[in-house]
Amino acid sequence: MAHGSSDPRAAASTRALARAVAAQRPGLDVRTSYLDHAGPRPDRVLLDMQRLGHRSAVVVPLLLTSAFHGRVDLPAVIDRAHDSGLSMRVRTTDVLGPVGGVADPLLVAALRRQLPALDADGVVMVAAGTRDDLARHTVDLAATALGQQLGLPCRAAFASGSPITGAVAVSALRSQGCAVVAISSYFLATGRLHEAAVASAVSAGALAPAAPPLGRSLDLARLVIARIGRVAAPPADLAA
């Protein structure tokens, strides 16, 4: 289950991730759904799966923070499915971002592998942003974990919901002595916010090209499988 976007590149990225998950788990019925801007909605997918005879499903929130969409929108849409006749068992995994103060090694591996081969001495990790302080903190945790893996200073920056823009984060890295700043993308797909965050970082001297978003990363597909494994005893069906 993805947030959804009016930009068709977002849905294409979600479908690619679903195909990668299905390739790693043959026999698993992997579906895509979206909370907003695109269809189908998660409640419709769950009801369709029940009509096909599935007895259980796992919903994987394709979200990098557990902000409003994960805490409020997703439970509401599952409740709506139950109100419409859903009776099969539905379990929901954690989001893909840090949980319990820890960034999953597969998430960090995805961020690291996506970075362009630049001789950088600092990294700005651009993210969509949120007004939720706890959610922003998890982005900072991911940036810290990436920096530890790289052995480089790494700062999070946001396209919205925070004064720490790409340009502000790059300037802070420069003040630490970083001369060459690479751009990591804490996004699942390219879109308006990703492009704005990257442009802000580049305006302050960060190097283009930025790392591509994570949605087509095989490490991220492995993380989805790992999230499923923590809540589901096989065999299980899946609504992504």
Q: What is the pLDDT of residue 34?
A: 93
pLDDT exceeds cutoff 90 at 109? yes
* Sheet architecture: strand order including 56-59: 30-31, 238-239, 56-59, 89-92
pLDDT at 54: 93
pLDDT band at 107 (very low <50, low <70, confident <90, very high): very high
pTM value?
Answer: 0.92
Predicted pLDDT of residue 156: 98
Evaluate if residue 2 carries a pLDDT over 70: yes
pLDDT in tens, 177-228: 999 999 999 999 999 999 999 999 999 999 999 999 999 999 999 999 999 9
How many angstroms separate the CA atoms of 123 and 78, rounded? Answer: 38
Of 66 and 234, the structure prediction assigns the larger pLDDT to 66
Span 7-26, mean pLDDT?
94
List the structure tokens of 224. 């989805």
Q: Is the pLDDT of residue 235 over 90?
A: no
What pLDDT sits at residue 4?
A: 86
Window from 18-32, 67-81, 167-181, 215-229 with minimum mean pLDDT: 67-81
pLDDT at res. 3: 86
Which top CATH class is 8-97+218-239? alpha beta
> For residue 29, which amino acid is it?
D
- β-pair type (238-239, 30-31): parallel
**E-assigned strands of the chain?**
30-31, 56-59, 89-92, 122-127, 154-158, 181-186, 238-239
Q: 49, 57 in Cβ contact below 8 A?
A: yes
In the predicted structure, residue 94 carries a pLDDT above the cut 70: yes
Tokens of 169: 């984060």
Distance CA 11, CA 24 (A): 20
Q: How many residues does the chain have?
A: 240
In angstroms, rounded to a whole number, what is the distance separating the alpha carbons of residues 181 and 11?
30
Residue range(s) in the chain whose domain bears CATH number 3.40.50: 8-97+218-239
What integer pLDDT is reported at residue 226 of this predicted model?
Answer: 96
User: Whole-number mean pLDDT of the chain?
Assistant: 92
The CA-to-CA distance between both ends of the chain, in Å, stands at 5
Closest of 139, 115, 138 to residue 127, by C-alpha: 139
pLDDT digits (tens, 9 = 90+) for 116-159: 877 899 999 999 988 889 999 999 999 999 999 999 999 999 99
Identify the pLDDT of residue 70: 62
